[in-house]
Homo-oligomer: A and B are copies of this chain.
Amino acid sequence: MDNLCHPKDGASTKTGSSTSFDSATLSMLNEVHSLICQAALCEGTDRQNKVLEFKHPQQLKELLELHISDDAASKEDIMEICKKVIKYSVKTAHPYWCNQLYTGVDPYSLAASWITEALNTNQHTYEAAPVFSLVEQHMIQKMCSLVEFDDGDGMFFPGGTMGNMVGIHLARYHYDNNIKKSGMFTNQPLVIFTSQEGHYSIKTAANLLGFGLDNVVAVKTDGIGCILIQDLEEKVQLCLKENRIPCVLVATSGSTVLGAYDPLDECAVVCKKYGMWMHVDAAWGGGALVSKKHTHLCKGIKEADSVVWCLHKMLGVQLQCSAMLVKKKGFLLECNSLKADYLYQKDKFYDTSYDYGDMSIQCGRKADGFKSWLMWKAHGDLGMEARVDSAFSLARYMEERLKATEGFRLVLPDFQCTNVCFWYIPPRLRGQTESEEWWLEINQIAPRIKQCMMEEGSMMIGYQPLHCHGWKNFFRIIIANPLLTTSDIDYVISHIHDKGKDL
């Protein structure tokens, strides 16, 4: 047996280079940082520059030189690659990226995400992530108080879809907690109700969780996209007649296309009557909760059993930052806990109730909460409120402008959220009988304008049909980027006309 040396000062036997971050490595990181600041942030948000430099997949493959060889690339090669990656990536912080529910880059949230990456933390346990565990729960409690969950808890998940899945999973456990043990093989079919305009993640959940797509019942909506309570109740009753169990209603606060807010108070009455779990998908529209002026849109959210709210959408936190809030404290843990021996040991010397990971359906988790906390600290409650209020007022401005501008037709007379949906009608199609053929022509206008905008890199705005209302392709612009001004809105309108007038 060898003898061990027992130094009083353990440090004396610590050897090896003192750090892996030598000056060449640090200089590479500095260079990347400068490149990011210049090319991605400054140039990438400058209106004079393109939103994207579009290339078709085959062209871009060649430009990127994807192949990895046996040998290391030089530092110069790596810098060239980084430049190309930024050049050909879409600038989602650019004011004319209005394509999806996320937009903009907040510098404080970005700073937080860089720190998170450098610390490369996995937020499963307090021992691995002491700061981030506390920060996450602080944010969760802040959000619980905004939805008036007096004794709630929750955590972050990677994306609203995951959050909606967990909401439905909790609903199932609430209906029959034996499913955790025995599975759902002997259950009568369990049914998920949601608006016909609800997000497709509800179907994803039905597929993954074993409910099946047939057990997602789409409830009709009214003329502005809100769930019809009468149709909900009729469908619940029909379901009961068919010996299927109404398990959960997923109500929506801010639907993906129209931005509609379901009437949560009325939803809650139906849920209570039939013993259904009420989950609110406030992934997009939850942002209204920080605004005294707009929080009424979510009225009744306190009646929910669980809520998903993505801070990376309207509030502009870095992707991804999706909070799952649960009214009944401890329920998420009870539903998901598996007490893995190698992570959640109970013989640790600190208070292991801070090892939050056992509440999750993930094992490894990114420290998403921190990105929202630092940003929120930096702007304060009032700053976050102002951001939301400004987006809403700009959306109302755009509505007014569209109403007043020839060739544009709003899909709805008014919108509840900061989505604005509209058709552009080129001069040659104006003033005609709106026959089926006419609509088929209109159906091609938005895709063609979008193609044109993407090819020249000028702007990105989403379009889609909405079959449940029989509507052909229309534009849906999302107003959330804090850089947007009324002049930008004027420009967007004139630009669409410019690209579409000869179609």
Contact = CB atoms under 8 A, between A and B. Distances in A.
Given A41-B118, A60-B131, A72 B473 contact: no
4 smallest beta-carbon distances between A and B, as pairs: A183-B212, A210-B210, A15-B487, A342-B464
A207 interface: yes
A18 B40 contact: no
A48 B490 CA distance: 59
Contacts of A476: 342
Contacts of A33: 29-30, 33, 114
Interface stretch (A97-105, A220-228, A324-332): A97-105
Contacts of A119: 40, 44, 86, 89-92
Given A55-B130, A57-B126, A159-B364, A13 B102 contact: no
A99 B117 contact: no
Contact of A66 (B134, B179, B203): B134
A455 B377 CA distance: 30
A16 to B, nearest CB: 5
Contact of A377 (B81, B102, B341, B376): B81
Contact of A134 (B61, B310, B320): B61
Contact of A349 (B45, B158, B214, B451): B451
A82 B380 CA distance: 16
Interface in A444-491: 444, 447, 450-451, 454-455, 458, 460, 462-467, 473, 476, 482-485, 487-488, 490-491
A233 interface: no
Interface in A50-69: 52, 54-57, 60-61, 64, 66, 68-69
A362 to B, nearest CB: 5
Contacts of A92: 119-122, 128
Contacts of A48: 11, 14, 18
A107 B10 contact: no
A381 interface: yes
A399 to B, nearest CB: 14
A374 B78 contact: yes
A342 B210 contact: no
